[in-house]
Chains A and B, each alone.
Chain A
């Protein structure tokens, strides 16, 4: 197994389930001329506080070195990477098939960067509820983002989130996408719902309960 320096370059959503997103990390092998392929043998994520076995398991997904190579959860505060083992393989072992077919529709080969809008489209279409916020649900860095999370938590609904403070492109991109000037921004069933005030109003009026059914 070769040592690898991992560097996060572009956030790309490869898939998601019950609110946990997978991010793609570009793995830089060290030395760069090393392995011809990388295999992510396992990347499991379980929500914090869950003692059961991980329900999400990706096994032996192989990518070419130049491809997006490693999956992990972006929401470290919310989940922990249960097990992740990365091994490198020699040139001859590689079947050179490129990305696992699971990801083919969402991720294309190198040089084809996903635009910010594509990332947002994927976020909001793959999650019933998705929040663009400051901080993470367990540690929001803004009172309004905190309020949104606490309201959603009251309904025990699973939701995905993206921390705009970590990503200036998304921070501006989401404002352009919705033509809405402030963060947080809440989406339900792929549709922009509003910010903190609107979610609170929906909560008070009972509309939110219906929307989350």
Chain B
């Protein structure tokens, strides 16, 4: 397995760390990026106060062989299922870029 590239963008708090941990446990990731985009949504539903440490809106980029042969909607469902608890509670929005490793 290739070495995973892990990146974090924006404010990274316990929710982001938990998401990253869950994803890396569940999928063998070549790339795993968790970006906190909550500040882009300050004042919107989900992040009404616009607090600097809000953890409501995330972007998740994953490259993993787990997505090989899976349709886009199935890939999203895999992550939705994995992060069900977070999505049901504190996480308001999750943008996902989910791909299998490029074929050479």
Residues of chain A whose beta carbon lies under 8 Å from any beta carbon of chain B: 134, 141-144, 179-182, 192-198, 201-202
Are A181 and B96 in contact, CB atoms less than 8 angstroms apart? no
Q: Would A142 and B73 be within 8 Å (CB), given that A182-B87, A182-B94, A197-B95 are in contact?
A: no
Query: Which residue among B41, B73, B80, B97 has the maximum number of chain A CB atoms within 10 Å of its CB?
Result: B73
Classify chain B: how many residues form its interface, as a range.
Answer: 10 to 19
Q: Which residues of B contact A202 (CB under 8 A)?
A: 72
Q: How far is the CA of A192 from the CA of B93 in the complex (A)?
A: 19
Closest B residue to A181 by CB, please name it: B87
Majority secondary structure of chain A interface residues (helix, strand, loop or mixed): mixed
Q: Would A142 and B95 be within 8 Å (CB), given that A193-B73, A198-B73 are in contact?
A: no
Q: Which residues of A contact B45 (CB under 8 A)?
A: 134, 141-142
Closest A residue to B99 by CB, please name it: A201
Residues of chain B whose beta carbon lies under 8 Å from any beta carbon of chain A: 40-41, 44-45, 72-73, 76-77, 80, 84, 87-88, 93-97
Looking at the complex, which one of B41, B88, B95 makes contact with A196 (CB distance below 8 Å)?
A: B95
Looking at the complex, which one of A143, A179, A197 makes contact with B96 (CB distance below 8 Å)?
A: A197
Query: Nearest Cβ distance between residue B42 and chain A, in whole angstroms?
Result: 12
26 A-B residue pairs with CB within 8 Å: A142-B44, A142-B45, A143-B44, A144-B93, A144-B95, A179-B77, A180-B77, A180-B80, A181-B80, A181-B84, A181-B87, A182-B87, A182-B93, A182-B94, A193-B73, A194-B72, A194-B73, A195-B76, A196-B95, A197-B76, A197-B95, A197-B97, A198-B73, A198-B76, A201-B72, A202-B72
